[in-house]
A and B are shown apart, each in its own frame.
Chain A
Amino acid sequence: MAEYTLRVRRQKPEADDRGPAGPYWEEFEVELDPTLSVLDGLLQAKDRQDGSLGVRCSCRAAICGSCGVKINGQSTLACLTQIGEAQERANRLARETDAGADGDGDGNQPIVVEPMGNMPVIKDLVTDMESTHWKKIRRVTPWLIDDGNPPERERIVPPETMVDITQTIACIQCGACVSSCLSMEADPDFIGPAALAKAYRFVGDPRDVDTEARLNDLAQDPHGIYDCTHCFSCVDACPKGVAPMDQIMRLRRLAGHDHDIDDRNNGRRHETAFVKIIEKKGTLDESLLLQESYAQGIKGKLKPSKAAIKGLLGSLPTAIRGIKTGKMRSLPKLIPGIHPKLPGDAQDHVKRIYKHAEEHREELNLYISGVEDDEPAEVGASAETTVENAEERRDS
């Protein structure tokens, strides 16, 4: 048993004798075993102190998807987060932000619990998932479209395809990924990680006959598969290993590479440029990337189209932000030709990865191959996720 303070972002839906409607913070002291969950803590507060504390929950075991919240700023399930760990994280965060300050940052900090992001709040920790999450799920035609002619027995399909889509079927529709999605924050119309993962569930299902139409739809939609910025937040947030971003990357590969879908959003060209540059240079040259994606050959013979120039100009703020934050190299290095090569034999390594990726087409299924530690993990993933994000993946 240990004592914890839960600092809960509450929202009163209606005014009453206890106060006006609106958001406020309230702290609850709870006492429980550190291996129990933050949800157990919330329920204890609700049971013993204030029965009006609103939080959806049912299974207590990360199965029903009811209890999506933010804990210490991270989107997750309340029932899956051990309260002891949440405490450690709260303390760590306090230490990091108070690094210079003296005195405080020691001792136990309150564990901060807030409703999920990117969704309107109904009451306390209860959000309106209908208008955000479910509407988008319905957007991707979320049912199997078969040939209308089911056989007498089962459909015979390669066994690994069923294992494959089980990763996305494992989604419990909790909304944690939606809550954490950075693209969604910028573009509320973005179809989003959960719905796109749901889309892959059908695209990857050999029993579905509408693959091409589905891919085309998702590629052409300006809020579709190319609206994702590879930020990994959804992969981190997802409690069930669905890895929505990976599913989005697979949709892109299927759309752009396998089905040759040229989208209106320049998504495919951007991606092709990305891959080409890395192949050539062994590392990403952002200066080339913009130009290649929007206007291949802008410095060469081809004249860029109007749309391309518009796209390029539209990207300037991003480019400038990129330079400022150090994600893109500073101006002098933007001058073509002086982009440095990777040191040592790194360039060869990159080439080998490309060769491997071209010769072996392996679908990434983290859920299964990612946890097997007896055999060495296979090189999977589409080329760009491997190269671009290898490091981040190690950290996460």
Chain B
Amino acid sequence: MGIISKVHPVRSHSNAAQGGINAALNPGDTWESHAFDTVKGSDYLGDQDAIEVMCREAPEEILHLEHLGVPFHRNEEGKLGTRAFGGASQARTFYVADITGQAIMHVLYEQLMKYSDLIDRYEEYFTTALAIDDDGNCVGAVTRNVRDGSMELFEAKNVILATGGNGQIWKPTTNALICTGDGIAMAYRAGAPLMDMEMIQYHPTTLAGKGFLITEGARGEGAHLLNAKGERFMEKYAPNKMELASRDVVSRAEQTEINEGRGFPDGTVALDITVVPKKRIHEALREIVLVGRDFAGVDITREPIRIKPGNHYTMGGVKTDVNGATSIPGLYAAGECACVSVHGGNRLGANSLLDTLIFGRRAGAHAADRAKRIDWSRPSRAILADEEAKIGEIMKRERATGRRISEIKHELGTTMDKYVAVFRDEEGLTKALETVRRLKEEAKTAYIDDRGTVFNQDILGALELSFMLDSAECTCIAALHRTESRGAQYRTDYPERNDEEWLKHITLTLDGDEPKIGYAPVTITQWQPAERKY
């Protein structure tokens, strides 16, 4: 067994998860309640069988993490304590101050060190492509060792993608520079369908310009949203849940305030954390104190901080079943790169870490079981030669022939943030798609400066860009195709939810050079679609 990661594993983006992880573990809470909140949050696009699995297994997962050593916050009795989060009918978010993701990931890395004789780590190895055999099974992956540039073909009975989201397609974004959706694009290129790609979450509280996130935990602890007139505007949009409505609802409310001239001149509204007791801020939101101080120059314990909706999370990804299996035998996906779909049209805060853990474990168990049952199938070494040739070609490109990678990346990001954001319409989406297609052409001749083998980040940037462009194209096409408003997809030209026509997933499968549109049904078990009110 081996783990391949393009950065040292503890640098992975999961460490950015501040707020926490959901589970119905408190007395009086039930997994059904958690599941219903998730279904409602998803605007009824989530698959209820998958949501049931996730919510039922959540408590065990939290306890397992606790036993491994995650120092979850305790209440006065020394038992696990919770905080409130958006879209949830109960406080069921377990947390470690506001470094939950980091704490969990570091503890899991401790376990990797502990079991180093069972699991090999390939740290700073960049995967460039999946190896598919003649029968259509996934049988390995090609990687580039970042430290010395050597290319290698890893053979495996199963490959599990856990490559994270693709937020870098947007600029700004709360996502780290490594979130370029490599796995999503690699699976797509190998022929696996992608699903729900139009569903892109804009988080309600990000720092303008820089894209840094202020955790939802801040609102969970009681912080208010105010417009430039000092009004607590959520009263108008979600009188019951106020600031703790679903993210799509809160982001739209903010953007409406801003668009209608009630925001600040810099296109923001304010988040007032000063209403939270100071001691509690320092204990539970200290990372935010630092973010405010270091990145915005604001002491959040004393004054409100300016925020706006910003790109944050991709609900869509590689289509899988509840065991993480994709349509390609031997290829699994879990976490943000996958679409089970438990998040549907809108993910609830603190459900994503849970998604990664539950379906990561299930994918692992299923793959291990499959490995026992099947024989080895050797990948053809041709794929290695192909990948080497692809990289060789990029390295050889002349400067005079094209644009810089960074220029293309910048244009992609600003275009997507303009047209494929909180509010969308046909005109904008069409523009975005045209731009993406032009950039795809331009990327073919874009040049890099670094021709070396050791730590050549330039070549990796070129590969990431091509992955990003593939996902971006799928997102634009799906968003154009869905002519209704549901969850994170709000079409100003089709402002209503339309269950009759659109209570279904859009899938995208590579066909020649372009994605082919298909559909998948939404699984409904016990909760019939209803109007969403917060």
Contact = CB atoms under 8 A, between A and B. Distances in A.
B63 to A, nearest CB: 6
B164 to A, nearest CB: 11
B269 to A, nearest CB: 20
B487 to A, nearest CB: 27
Contact of A166 (B77, B99, B123): B99
Contacts of B99: 166, 169-170
B78 A64 contact: no
Contacts of B449: 50-52
A368 B448 CA distance: 46
Interface in B111-166: 111, 113-114, 123, 147
A162 B99 CA distance: 13
A48 interface: yes
Contacts of B8: 66, 129
Interface residues of A, number: 62
Contacts of B79: 153-154, 156
A284 B442 CA distance: 70
Contacts of B78: 156-159
A143 B282 contact: no
B449 to A, nearest CB: 4
Given A52-B456, A60-B177, A159-B74, A65 B111 contact: no
Given A58-B177, A172-B102, A143 B457 contact: no
B68 A65 contact: no
A153 B63 contact: yes
Nearest to A369: B282
Contacts of A170: 97, 99, 102
B453 interface: yes
Interface string B444-459: 0000111111111110
Nearest to A52: B450
B461 interface: yes
Given A51-B450, A143-B69, A368-B282, A58 B75 contact: no
Contacts of B96: 162, 166, 169
Contacts of B114: 143
Q: Is the interface of A mostly helix, strand, loop or mixed?
A: loop
B7 A66 contact: yes
Contact of A57 (B80, B177, B283): B177
Interface stretch (B10-18, B28-36, B350-358): B10-18
B279 A372 contact: yes
Interface in A148-163: 150, 152-159, 162-163
Interface string A157-179: 11100110110011111000000
B404 interface: yes
Contact of B286 (A48, A54, A156, A371): A371
Given A50-B449, A157-B78, A166-B103, A61 B11 contact: no
A48 B404 contact: yes
Contact of B455 (A123, A150, A208): A123
A123 B454 CA distance: 7
A262 B196 CA distance: 63
A130 B147 CA distance: 12
Nearest to B11: A64
B69 A159 contact: no
A346 interface: no
B455 A54 contact: yes
B68 A144 contact: yes
A47 B404 contact: yes
A16 interface: yes
A50 B73 CA distance: 46
**Across the A-B interface, the 4 shortest Cβ-Cβ residue pairs:** A144-B69, A52-B450, A47-B406, A51-B449
26 contacts: A13-B455, A35-B297, A51-B406, A51-B457, A51-B461, A54-B457, A58-B7, A59-B11, A59-B15, A59-B176, A64-B12, A64-B15, A64-B16, A144-B69, A154-B79, A155-B67, A156-B78, A162-B96, A163-B283, A173-B10, A205-B71, A368-B282, A368-B283, A371-B289, A372-B282, A374-B278
Given A123-B454, A150-B67, A154-B63, 16 more contacts: A14-B454, A16-B452, A52-B452, A54-B457, A58-B7, A58-B176, A59-B176, A59-B177, A60-B177, A142-B113, A143-B69, A144-B110, A152-B63, A156-B79, A162-B72, A173-B106
